[in-house]
């Protein structure tokens, strides 16, 4: 009847209604979760399963299994090559790339806020070209620039008398190899950070910076006291994504001279896994290295995500 009071459901009916409400989001997400599980989870399970086997060409042809327990993990973790070469290469390279990418991207984002619309559009278009360039193409450009036989940088410095081109090969040294790789990765990655941080800067009310100027705060003080706290979640997101990408760098290292395994001193976890799998035909060993890289990335990502959620709780935002 119109105007009649609505009778609340009984205890059992209320519980059933709550279960239906809780189940509804999962039903909506089910197609996407199935697709993700088929494309990502199942291959990951296969890699983990392979890492506990001596899996080579014989096993591929015969289809048999040759389990060895955790022998591959014991071999990898007990190998000094992991701790003195591969892991330092992976962690140090990723840390430097992430720091330089975020700093350069933030500086470009701040520059974009000060440009006129025309110059902002032109600048954004130019930097997006670096992001749109395929990693393979960009790597070959950097290899050409530093090529010891005819590279533009080597020949230019040789013409100035700074070095001897005939006796210079920056791809053989561990530090110089990764210095070139760092330039390559940062050049390819900073546009994403610049555009993302610029979008975050647009959300900061202008009144906050005007108040800082009235209070006599310098540009540096306004950046640390106003800008950084206001878009801290944006910085956390770009740091998370940059960390994941830079830990998994493969093309930019593998295509450089010596990066395909010819120079063991410059391998990181991703390239080492590939070399063990497809050059040495030790697919089980390569899978074990890949699993360790995944666990390392998972631990770092969980730490960043927890920091992001903690930031949301401090601001009272729903998570």
List, for residues 59-88, the tens digit of each pLDDT value: 777 778 788 888 999 999 999 999 999 999
Burial class of residue 21 in the structure, from the number of CB atoms within 10 Å of its CB (0-12 exposed, 13-18 middle, 19+ buried):
exposed
List, for residues 259-303, the tens digit of each pLDDT value: 998 999 999 999 999 999 988 888 999 999 999 999 998 888 888
Which pLDDT tens digits describe the chain residue by residue (319 residues)? 455 555 555 567 677 778 888 888 888 888 888 888 788 888 888 899 999 998 887 877 777 878 888 899 999 999 999 999 999 999 999 999 999 999 999 999 999 999 998 999 999 888 888 888 899 999 999 999 999 888 888 888 888 888 777 778 899 999 999 999 999 999 999 999 999 999 999 998 888 877 888 888 888 888 888 888 888 889 988 998 999 999 989 999 999 999 998 999 999 999 999 999 988 888 999 999 999 999 998 888 888 778 777 766 666 554 4
* Cα(169)–Cα(158) distance, integer angstroms: 12
pTM tops 0.85 = no
Domain ranges of the chain: 1-51, 70-314
Give helix 232-247 / helix 87-114 axis angle, nearest 10°.
Answer: 140
Q: Tell the residue number behind the tokens 């705060």, with chain if given.
A: 217
The pair of three-digit structure tokens given for residue 33, joined into one six-digit string: 């979760």
The pLDDT, as a whole number, for residue 2 is 54
The pLDDT, as a whole number, for residue 44 is 87
| CATH class, 70-314 region | mainly alpha
Burial class of residue 139 in the structure, from the number of CB atoms within 10 Å of its CB (0-12 exposed, 13-18 middle, 19+ buried):
buried
The pLDDT, as a whole number, for residue 247 is 92
Nearest to 200 by CA among 105, 317, 318: 105
Q: How many residues does the chain have?
A: 319
The pLDDT, as a whole number, for residue 164 is 79
The pLDDT, as a whole number, for residue 319 is 47
* Cα(247)–Cα(293) distance, integer angstroms: 8
């Amino acid at each position: 009847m119109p105007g009649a009071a609505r009778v609340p459901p009984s205890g059992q009916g209320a519980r059933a209604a709550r279960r239906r409400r809780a189940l509804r989001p999962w039903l909506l997400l089910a197609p996407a979760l199935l697709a993700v599980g088929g494309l990502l989870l199942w291959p990951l399970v296969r890699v983990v399963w392979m890492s506990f086997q001596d899996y080579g060409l014989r096993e591929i042809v015969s289809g048999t299994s040759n389990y060895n327990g955790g022998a591959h993990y014991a071999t990898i973790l007990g190998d000094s090559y992991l701790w003195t070469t591969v892991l330092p290469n992976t962690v140090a390279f990723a840390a430097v790339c992430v720091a330089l990418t975020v700093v350069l991207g933030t500086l470009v984002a701040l520059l974009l806020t000060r440009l006129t619309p025309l110059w902002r559009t032109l600048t954004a278009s130019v930097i997006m070209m670096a992001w749109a360039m395929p990693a393979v193409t960009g790597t070959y450009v950097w290899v050409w620039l530093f090529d010891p036989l005819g590279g533009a940088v080597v020949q230019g410095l040789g013409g100035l008398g700074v070095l001897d081109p005939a006796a210079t090969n920056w791809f053989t040294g561990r530090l110089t190899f990764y210095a070139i790789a760092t330039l390559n990765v940062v050049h390819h990655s900073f546009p994403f950070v610049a555009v993302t941080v610029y979008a975050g800067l647009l959300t900061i009310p202008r009144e906050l910076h005007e108040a800082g100027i009235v209070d006599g705060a310098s540009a540096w003080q306004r950046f640390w006291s106003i800008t950084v706290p206001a878009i801290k979640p944006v910085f956390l997101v770009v740091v998370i994504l940059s960390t994941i990408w830079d830990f998994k760098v493969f093309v930019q290292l593998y295509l450089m001279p010596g990066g395909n395994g010819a120079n063991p001193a410059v391998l990181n976890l991703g390239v080492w896994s590939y070399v063990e799998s497809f050059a040495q035909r030790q697919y089980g060993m390569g899978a074990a290295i890949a699993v360790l890289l995944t666990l390392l990335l998972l631990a770092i990502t969980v730490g960043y995500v927890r920091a992001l959620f903690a930031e949301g709780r401090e601001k009272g935002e729903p998570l």
